[in-house]
Amino acid sequence: MIDISNLHTGLFIGGGWRDAGETFTTLNPATGQPLAELAAAGSADVDAAVIAATSAYRGDWGALAPSRRGALLHRLADLVERDLEQLAALESMDMGRPVGMGAAMMIPNLVGTLRYYAGWADKINGELIANDGYLGGPVPTHAYTRRDPIGVVAAIVPWNAPLMILGWKLAPALACGNAVIVKPSEDASLSILRLAELVDEAGFPPGTVNVLTGAGKVAGEALALHPGIHKISFTGSTEVGRSIVRNSAVNFKRTALELGGKAPQVIFDDANLDAAIQGSAMGLFFNQGEVCAAGTRILAHRKVYEAVIEGLKAAAEAQIVGDPFDPATTMGPLVNERQRDRVVGYLRKGADEGADVVAGGNAPDGPGFFVNPTVLAGRNDMAVSREEIFGPVGVVIPFDSDDEAVELANDNQYGLSATIWTTDVSRAHGISARIDAGSIGVNGWSPLAPQLPWGGVKASGVGRELGYEGILSYTEPKTITVIL
Ligand code: NAD
């Protein structure tokens, strides 16, 4: 735990801090005790943030040379790196992940994303387009596209990796010259409030980045409905994603949706089994299983099925569940009581549907919102295999052939990511091509690297973040034709 008495707890609008009419309390998930009292933005605050963002976009921020935008992003990356330990600690206090995990992966990911897009800021080009001449006639034209910023972007983020996921939106949006309004999750706002302080320290023009803490149903919905916002980039649940699309139709906002997942991890009988089991266990228990790409359906070839079950049982039993600030801890609490109860509800459903408990299967007594790491042996048609649980729960399912593995992998509403474990390179490419998912990792988890596009198909979302796709998604192409 670190001292948070100096952290701003208001709304960051137009480069200044202000109170909202109301507040809400955020809890420490390891103890269930209150952690901080934060401003709860209402629709008047959303209006104020839109005015501030619009004036930055049309004013000082919009007028800044692209290389200066890049320099500011580099400066922000330096400040995040300076305060890396503090930012990791704030997230752990708020959402429960072991502090070393955030310091080793999520906060460095933010630094990397800021630096990657800082480099893009002065390399965003349109195209000169060859054509048949004016109306197809003999008069030639000079036709080209510009890639302009979209305008005011709202970034609505979840609680499981607040800064990392915000970085995937904020960095490309700023590199392209947009102004941004951030809506953190009500369950994990602290690290984003600290980031707002760093944005201020870095010297971004006022209004370039605004942060509105508060309820999704109030502040989030007001953002989706606001006619002054041009794009919503949302990461969260599929259900809320649907409501964002409906509400965004008011002014046909661009929407990018990174939603839920139920990723298959397919272990073939030719796989390096130790690596597959270790990797699959990481895919299950990393970040308490509160990961959209968590590999929660372990499809194991029948020849290795028993070995996989035994290996995952040992991996689950080796997890150390406890205080996120104890260096020995490998799994912290779930984010809140509702999430803990939801996961426990799925464990009950699994038992009712006939899944065998291989490890875990319950929640420990005592304070905090902990769930024991759980491995179930089951079928692909059970609720625990079909629905996103967002907790440390995996189901092992046997298969007999490559075709059956593909059929099982694709027999799910989600399509975010998948992992394939095999030593046969032809099988690796062949199966990768046949699985419906935005990202496939072969013999390891898909790395969440700034250079690599990330996003889902089916109910896992629309659009891609990161890489060059990120630049395309935060610009509007405009075609200009000069008749010569
Ligand atoms: P959530 O959908 O409940 O909330 C996400 C954000 O949306 C929060 O900031 C919340 O306040 C806001 N929100 C809630 N209701 C809203 C509304 N009506 N209008 C506008 N905004 C609203 O999701 P969560 O519980 O915070 O996060 C878990 C979910 O996020 C899981 O389904 C997970 O799979 C998904 N997720 C996806 C990815 C990805 O890259 N695909 C990454 C992380 C998490």
For range 42-63, the mean pLDDT = 98
Residue 442 in 3-state DSSP? strand
pLDDT at residue 447 greater than cutoff 90: no
Ligand 1 centre distance from Cα of residue 127 (Å): 36
Average pLDDT over residues 114-133: 97
Alpha carbon distances (Å) from 435 to 263, 426, 456: 11, 14, 12
The residue whose CA is least distant from atom 40 of ligand 1 is 258
The CA 239 to ligand 1 mean position distance, Å, reads 9
Question: The tokens of 423 are what?
Answer: 């030593």
Picking from 90, 257, 74, the residue whose alpha carbon sits closest to that of residue 162 is: 90
Rounded Cα–Cα distance for residues 407 and 399 (Å): 10
Q: pLDDT class for 446, splitting at 50, 70, 90?
A: confident
Q: Which of 106, 156, 346 to mutate to test the pocket of ligand 1 (most atoms within 8 A of CB)?
A: 156
Tens digit of pLDDT for each residue in 237-258?
A: 999 999 999 999 999 999 999 9
Catalytic residue at 37?
A: no
Residue-level pLDDT at 120: 98
**Which residues sit with their C-beta closer than 6 Å to ligand 1?**
156-160, 165, 183, 185-186, 216-217, 220-221, 224, 235-237, 240, 243-244, 258-261, 292, 388, 390, 416, 456, 461
Indicate the top mutation candidate among 292, 414, 439 to test ligand 1's pocket, ranked by most ligand atoms within 8 A of CB.
292
Using the mean position of ligand 1's atoms as its centre, give its distance from the Cα of residue 59 in Å: 32
pTM of this structure: 0.97
CA 195 from chain centre, in angstroms, equals 17
Mean pLDDT of 333-340: 97
Closest by CA to 150, choosing from 235, 252, 276, is 252
Contacts of 351 (CB under 8 A, 6+ apart): 357, 361
Per the CB < 8 A criterion, the answer to whether 371 and 348 are in contact is no
DSSP class of residue 205 equals P
Does position 342 have pLDDT exceeding 90, yes or no? yes
